[in-house]
Amino acid sequence: MRQIALLGMCMIAGIGFMAWVVRPESAISATTEENNVGVKSTTRKTDLNLATAQELSKLPGIGIELAERIVRQRPYRKLDELISKKVLGRKQFARIKGRIRVSSVP
């Protein structure tokens, strides 16, 4: 009798383990989407025409002096004007171009 009870408990534990390991695809997608929502909200792009020098200085490789130079050369119509106006070099621009944007110029 003990052997049957032990066998039953092992089967129940095994089924529970399999249900945990083999999750439905929808559960995996939902978890992934929930994780991505948090990531998207924290990676907002910095607007070159609206950001303060302090906000711009938080970009990688951009100190306060370079941020002030970006502010002085406003307005920007396109991102690559940072290079054409000689505000940034190509390597500096490549480092931050995925984190910046340009709003419409008033």
pTM greater than the 0.85 cutoff:
no
**Does residue 106 fall inside a structural domain?**
no
Say whether pLDDT at 19 is over 70.
Answer: no
The parent domain of residue 94 ranges over 46-101
In the chain, the number of structural domains is: 2
Residue type, 17: F
Q: What's the pLDDT tens digit per position in 21-79? A: 455 544 444 444 444 444 444 579 999 999 999 999 999 999 999 999 999 999 999 99
Cα–Cα nearest to 57, from 96, 84, 90: 96
What is the pLDDT averaged over residues 75-89? 96
Select the highest-mean-pLDDT range: 12-16, 17-21, 93-97.
93-97
Cα distances from 47 to residues 37, 38, 53, 74, 78, in angstroms, run 21, 21, 11, 11, 11
Residue type, 32: T
pLDDT of residue 92: 95
- Same structural domain for residues 36 and 77? no
Q: Rounded to whole angstroms, how far apart are CA atoms 37 and 43? A: 10
pLDDT of residue 77: 95
